[in-house]
Amino acid sequence: MDSTPNDYAPPSRTEGAGDDGEFNLMALVPRLSQVGTAMSRGSLVERAMQQAAPGLDQPSMNVLMQLRMAGKPLRVGEIAHRMQVVGPHVTRQVNELERRRLARRVVDPDDQRARLVESTPEGTATVERYLHTVFGVFDEALADWSAEDRRAFSRLLGRFADDVAAHLAHLDAQDRDPQRD
């Protein structure tokens, strides 16, 4: 019983040829949701968490990921901003990471109020294991893709994320300050 989740958007089955070729916003939405689910609570992250740090929670791994992507220690507020969450949330995850010796806090020399969160070697190794699993899945899933399609997807996804974010920021600013526009 397991019917296809995709009656709405006929595209693909992909293997053969003819994608329908149309641009249809209605078809885009379920795909975006699908990707969102995969990145937050699907078997991909479940699998990667299991490989990398059984028992650790997802947001804590997300903190480690932010540190990994930044390549340097970050303030609590900066991590919160990058994760698109609120300060206290980060505090709790950093507590957990510190308890597990995956990260530590040091006072920011430039501002005694602030704390810099930095990954420990074990923290770095943990997030590397996580990314190894995630990349492995993507890599195998995209095994059949042409180099050109990969580049195009990367470019278009980045542009899409940027353009949507920028437009929403514009709308939000308008809401806060109806004068402008």
Residues binding DNA (CB under 7 A): 1, 40-41, 57-59, 62, 75-78, 84-92, 94-95, 105, 108, 111-115
Restricted to residues 60-79, the positions that interact with a second copy (CB under 8 A) are 65, 68-71, 78
Burial (CB < 10 A; 0-12, 13-18, 19+), residue 64, is buried
Is there binding between residue 59 and a second copy (CB under 8 A)? no
Partner in contact with 165, chosen from DNA, a second copy, none, beta carbon below 5 to 8 Å by kind: a second copy
Q: How far is the CB of 123 from DNA (least distance, A)?
A: 16
Which of these segments, 36-44, 53-61, 89-97, 104-112, binds a second copy (CB under 8 A)? Answer: 36-44
Is there binding between residue 10 and a second copy (CB under 8 A)? yes
Is there binding between residue 29 and a second copy (CB under 8 A)? yes
Is there binding between residue 97 and a second copy (CB under 8 A)? no
In sequence order, which ranges of the chain are alpha helices (DSSP H)? 25-40, 43-52, 58-70, 76-83, 87-99, 121-141, 147-176
Partner in contact with 132, chosen from a second copy, DNA, none, beta carbon below 5 to 8 Å by kind: none
Q: Return d(Cα 123, Cα 143) in angstroms, integer.
A: 30
Cβ neighbours of residue 79 closer than 8 Å, sequence gap 6 or more = 63, 66, 67, 90, 94, 117
Q: Return d(Cα 44, Cα 37) in angstroms, integer.
A: 10
